[in-house]
Amino acid sequence: MTEYDYWKIFPKMPRRAVVGDITIRDGFQHEERFISTEAKVFYAQEMILAGARDIEITNLGNPQNMPQFKDAEQVFLAMRGEAFRQRCARAGVRYEDITMTAVTIRESAVDTAIALKQQGIGPDRILMMVSTDPEHHYANSGATLTQYWREAERCIRKARDAGIKTCGTVSTIWGSPISGATRLEDAVEFSRRFFSIGAHDVEHADHDGSANAADVYRYFSLVLDAMPQPDAHLCHLHETKRIASASVLAALQAGICRFEATLGGLGGQPANFLDGCPVRGTGEYYYKDPRYVGLICMEDLLVQLDELGIGTGYDIGRVLWLGERMEKTIGRRLRSEAVINGRTEKGGNPQFARPGLKRLIAESGEPPGQAFPGDWPAAPVLPEPWGPAAWAKEH
């Protein structure tokens, strides 16, 4: 007997999901034009008021490499300011429920985060990152894996002493843009290592769109078998082939309940050009065309989860409005389909109904609501054989 209840088929699938917004950090890092401090603050605050409770604010690394984030302190000042706290209170948002994260790949950035925390404006959470591919890891950090693990252990400890949580990111799980295929089992081991040295949670990252649904399901099943605490794990997917929504579904089926996304599907490798001037970033782009990379799209992800009946706490209409504004901020058409086509209208669109149908039904003498000829049997009976088998027999 076929089971038709989706949640019985996938009993680990959550009824609610947490979707973190990383637009103004990961989304903007790929832009080759400086996004104003005012715009960063606007979108961060508006996304919180629309329902985001986990939000990435900035990258505290060397601004010479990524000048998009040279305004990190100003953004934190605005996000920690009394005006925004009062705005949250008026909107019924508990400011204490918001987790603000800063990316801190190396120890100098961690020290900056701690200094900002001591000033009362710093992050609640920082993010450090390893890649299972040593080549990709070196390209991002300039360190060997062994060197970096020692550094991460030290940084996690002193961040905790300062009251800051650390998220450990494991990257190149489903493949590396430098070295190609990787082993899923290595990423499981890297995740365990992060927890063993004190990480608060682990972000499992596909940074170049290598993931597919089958391997995503297998990987997160391995992860939750080894570390069975869903709220400790975060799914971070990039979109380069228009297949990431299938991977989202696979992660849900495995039991993952935390995701990240950006408005318009913005993001990708840090820009190596800004306002007409070459900058370091992380070197040459891995992609053939940097216009067709980025994270999973916030607007479309929220609509997907809503259609599945999975709650997120977001005001989706407000997020779609912000997505429209973001296209003006960036100055080009972004990748959200939901921004253009909206949500599925459960009540339909009666303005498109043809007035002639009711008249034709009345003229034909059909009872309203009749779907089949009146002299047909009440229930259909399939002939034997039927369909393709009948055609084959006759011919």
| C-alpha to C-alpha distance for 211 and 221, rounded to whole angstroms | 15
- Residue 183 neighbours by CB under 8 Å, 6+ apart: 132
Tokens of 141: 């950090």
Which ranges of the chain does DSSP label H, i.e. alpha helix? 6-9, 37-49, 72-79, 82-90, 107-118, 134-141, 145-161, 184-196, 213-226, 244-254, 298-308, 316-330, 338-341, 356-364, 388-394
Q: What is the pLDDT of residue 174?
A: 96
Nearest by Cα to 287 from 173, 211, 215, 210: 210
Strand pairing report for 54-59 and 277-278: unpaired
| C-alpha to C-alpha distance for 154 and 361, rounded to whole angstroms | 77
| C-alpha to C-alpha distance for 164 and 158, rounded to whole angstroms | 9
| C-alpha to C-alpha distance for 174 and 163, rounded to whole angstroms | 33
| C-alpha to C-alpha distance for 256 and 319, rounded to whole angstroms | 23
Give SS3 for 130. Answer: strand
Rounded to a whole number of angstroms, the distance between the first and last alpha carbons of the chain is 34
| C-alpha to C-alpha distance for 219 and 13, rounded to whole angstroms | 15
Instruction: Quote the Cα angle for 308-313-319, to 5°.
Output: 90
Q: What is the pLDDT of residue 207?
A: 83
| C-alpha to C-alpha distance for 134 and 128, rounded to whole angstroms | 15
State the chain's maximal CA–CA distance in angstroms.
84
| C-alpha to C-alpha distance for 395 and 393, rounded to whole angstroms | 6
Q: What is the pLDDT of residue 211?
A: 95
Tokens of 365: 């003498």
CB 238 within 8 A of CB 228: no
- Each residue's pLDDT tens digit, 65-108: 999 999 999 999 999 999 999 999 999 999 999 999 999 999 99
Beta bridge partners of 18: 258
Q: What is the pLDDT of residue 394?
A: 87
Burial class of residue 146 in the structure, from the number of CB atoms within 10 Å of its CB (0-12 exposed, 13-18 middle, 19+ buried): exposed
Residues of the chain with pLDDT under 70: none
Cα torsion 32, 36, 41, 47 to 10°: value is: -50
Beta bridge partners of 237: 206
Q: What is the pLDDT of residue 132?
A: 96
Tokens of 69: 């984030």
Instruction: State how far the alpha carbon of 251 is from the alpha carbons of 212, 220, 245, in Å.
Output: 10, 6, 10
Beta bridge partners of 176: 180
Give SS3 for 309. Answer: coil
